[in-house]
Amino acid sequence: MIPPKFAACLLLTVLFCRAQSTCTPLELKPGLLIVCAKGFTTGDCRNRQAAVKLALEAIHPPLQDWRFLIVPDHHWRHACVAFGRQRWVPAFTNLESHATYLNSRLAVLFEPPGFDEELARFSPFTGVQRLEWVLGHELGHILCGTPDQEIAEDVGNRLRLSPSRPVDCRNRRYVSPAPRPLLGF
């Protein structure tokens, strides 16, 4: 029997994948997909996929069988509520369904006009550098299989600084090129 919480997460992931925009999922390598949820034009989806791809390629995560779902900002609140997350988090990972959900405001190559103060409270970075920082943090959760924010942040920072080094989830040597988030995500 599938636990109810896992079933709900899996159902939401399937709905996001099936209700995607007209844009085809981008496969970085077998089993590693970047998917746009419904609500994007094909061009907007492709631009956001390119930003996520660029950030992931900079980090070189040793990852397979995972989906990165880009959720339009106007649907973000619903995704957060469905997974029991706070609306203000810029991204979150569901380990059971092998999916990371990204607010579309993160998936940009350059910061659009009008600085985003809500995202600025997490990091002084903008554009793809902020996306790399958030993805590094989420990869810390994924690669260590942990909900622990400090471990995720530590591993994420080490991944961004030395992407070719093996991930060691036990080594708690905190290295931070960016300020720690004010609120965990």
24-58: per-residue pLDDT in tens?
999 988 889 999 999 999 999 999 999 999 999 99
Confidence (pTM): 0.79
CATH of domain 4-161: 3.40.390
Phi, psi dihedrals of residue 33, rounded to the nearest 5°: -115, 150
pLDDT value of position 113: 56
pLDDT tens-digit series, residues 73-114:
999 999 999 999 998 899 999 999 999 999 998 888 776 655
